[in-house]
Amino acid sequence: MENLLNQLKTKLQASGQDPENYLKGLQHNRAINYWEYVQVDTLLSLQNPRTNFKDETIFIVYHQITELVLGLIKHELEQLCNDDLSTELFTEKINRMIRYTDLLISSFSIMNKGMSYEDYNQFRLSLSPASGFQSAQFRFIELMCTDIDLLIHPHFRKNLKEDSTLKEKFSFVYWQEAGYNREADTKTKTLSDFEKKYLDSFIALAEKMKVNNLRQKYQNHLVQTEPNLKEELLKSLRAFDVKYNIEWPMVHLETARTYLKAKGETKTATGGSSWEKYLHPEFQRRIYFPELWSEEEMANWGKE
């Protein structure tokens, strides 16, 4: 016990704290319970349906679960991009992101098989112009994973100039196609509201990630690590690229088809996008690590 107290004293002094005051404060701490630590009551108070359809609660909870899982991926990326990690730990954190993405893929059955077709197509009418497109965490993850130029469809990359600013590049990023009519130079409310709230944050993050994104960091690891660790790292990166950028979007697309196309009528997305085209990974062409794929693999990216 004395040794443990000495270790605690050393730790507190090193961080500029007074060990005596800290220990006195511990006398007043009360035991914590599971429901307090996990904030269960708060979590269960965050579902506020806009209609009386029972399955709307499922829809809300599912998207909240998705945001929590995206938060786990972002949590790992913040360490991958900003900390000095060993190659072993670097690879392990990518494997964690793979497991989180597996959860995103498998969890879509909650919506795909768990809601009334009729009810969904009623309560969804009250949600416009809100759209899952407006998930900022999803965009933060993309910007932390790869270079901004790789989030621009190859068709539009030719419009970039060597001195194009980040703001100019964001006008061509692939997700613009969900709400930007280039011919009329107009944007949907879904997209304009989204950019009003988050665009400055996206630009700031993209600037920070120019040399620190996952693609840049893994390439640094390849220079300084032994062959067997390189092989494991590359295997994990390829798996994450496929799961996050093909398998998860395809499950999302199939779920959308279940409710928006299954009975002979193609319905409009709440955000106003051409959802079947936009959601397809072949259209989005998100490939975080193109150097890890052959020309044939990239040509067939996301094809059903």
pLDDT given at position 56:
96
Within a domain: 37: no
Tens of pLDDT, residue by residue over 29-77, are: 888 999 999 999 999 999 999 999 999 999 999 999 999 999 999 999 9
Domain extent, residue 181, equals 48-127+134-299
Tens of pLDDT, residue by residue over 82-133, are: 999 999 999 999 999 999 999 999 999 998 899 999 999 999 989 989 988 8
Residue 152's nearest CA partner among 135, 171, 126, 167 is: 171
pLDDT band per the 50, 70, 90 thresholds, residue 269: low
Within a domain: 182: yes
Report the C-alpha gap between 105 and 240 in whole angstroms.
12
**What is the chain's mean pLDDT, rounded?**
91
Report the C-alpha gap between 110 and 107 in whole angstroms.
6
CATH code, domain with 69: 1.20.58
Tens of pLDDT, residue by residue over 184-207, are: 999 999 999 999 999 999 999 999
pLDDT given at position 156:
87
pLDDT given at position 30:
86
pLDDT band per the 50, 70, 90 thresholds, residue 140: very high
Report the pLDDT averaged over residues 146-173: 90
Report the pLDDT averaged over residues 23-33: 86
Between residues 145 and 222, which one has the greater pLDDT?
Answer: 145
How far CA 128 is from CA of 123, 186, 226, 253, in Å, comes to 10, 18, 52, 19
Cβ within 8 Å of residue 144, ≥6 positions away: 74, 77, 78, 80, 81, 205, 209, 213, 214
Within a domain: 10: no
> In the predicted model, is pLDDT for residue 12 greater than 70?
yes
pLDDT given at position 274:
74
Within a domain: 41: no
User: Structural domain tally of the chain?
Assistant: 1
pLDDT given at position 161:
85
Within a domain: 292: yes
Within a domain: 206: yes
pLDDT given at position 128:
87
pLDDT given at position 298:
92
Within a domain: 231: yes
Between residues 296 and 158, which one has the greater pLDDT?
Answer: 296
pTM of the model: 0.91
Structural element, H or E, at residue 187: strand 186-187
Within a domain: 255: yes
